[in-house]
Amino acid sequence: MRSFAFAVAYWSLSIVYTLAAVGAALLPGRAATGWIIRRYVKRMVQAMRVLAGIHVRYRGEDRLPAGAFILAAKHQSWGDGFTIYDRFQDLAFVTGDHLEKFPLMATVLRKLGAIVVNNCGGREAREALQSRAADAHRDGRRILIYPEGNLAKVGEKFRYRSGVWHMYRDFDMPVVPVATNLGLFWPQEDFRKTPGTATLEFLEPIPTGLPKDEFLARLEAAVEGRTAELVAEATGRPVAAAVQVPTPDEAARAARPAAG
């Protein structure tokens, strides 16, 4: 019943606030659209707590640096974006172009200044990430990116992509790794929700100036290591390292020759 009640609230809130945001997008500037989306996010986090029974505990906010920075987060749940966005006043975020397939979402994303890139990656995606992230950086906004580029199951991880390093290098901004265990309570895009207290933790910022390989290794170790600890903390099981699996695109490409 909790999952059903939350699903009703999820779609009702999404429809109402998306329509309101589209109307606000007709106004000059980003302020009106941003205000509506922040209200939407707050209502969603409230619905997670009241209807689904998922409480979110935040740790490490005292570690956040002053000024602009990049948040590089673990992505286990469709709820991740809501829980992070709720903590910031004006957050730019990197998202796949799959969201533009939802009616009216493309209009809202453009108005918010979201950084929309092709889910399949490649040179075009890198160029889009670079130019749109530069716009957000110029405005002094904090930027959220999911380095794996996909929703991972609890206990699994994908290859960390280099887009976050390019922003880190080009904009000379610190990167804050973000760990979470929300996937235990709202797995990926699942209908089923499990009541409990999820944790989202902001980790020690990675200072600027590191070479690519060192930066990516440090980021992955921080995010995956602490995420495994948070999962163990919530489940009472021993800490277990995540297993790397192919991304959906990689798996599809690998399957094509076999199918032929």
Question: 148-191, pLDDT tens digit by residue?
Answer: 989 999 999 999 998 899 889 988 889 999 999 999 999 999 99
Comparison of pLDDT for 55 and 66, the residue scoring more? 55
Task: Tell whether 92 is covered by a domain.
Answer: yes
Give 197's strand partners.
55
- The pLDDT score that the predictor gives to residue 59 is 97
In a domain, 83, yes or no: yes
Asked if the structure places residue 221 within a domain, the reply is: yes
pLDDT, averaged across the chain:
88
Q: Per the domain annotation, does 114 fall within a domain?
A: yes
The pair of three-digit structure tokens given for residue 147, joined into one six-digit string: 């380095």
On whether residue 200 sits in a domain, the answer given is: yes
Residue 198 falls inside a structural domain? yes
Residue 181's pLDDT is what? 98
Residue 4 lies in a domain: no
Contact 226, 201 (CB under 8 A): yes
- pLDDT surpasses 60 at 253: yes
Q: How many domains does the chain fold into?
A: 1
Decide if 153 is inside a domain: yes
Share of the chain above pLDDT 90, in %: 62
Highest mean pLDDT among 37-41, 64-68, 128-132, 198-202 belongs to 198-202
- 64 conformational bin, left if phi > 0, alpha if psi -120 to 50, beta if neither: beta
Phi/psi of residue 58, each to 5°? -105, 135
User: Can you tell me the mean pLDDT for 207-234?
Assistant: 97
123 Cβ contact list (under 8 Å, min separation 6) = none
- What pLDDT, on a 0 to 100 scale, did the predictor assign at position 212? 96
Q: Say which CATH number the domain at 234 has.
A: 3.40.1130.10
Domain region containing 118: 56-250
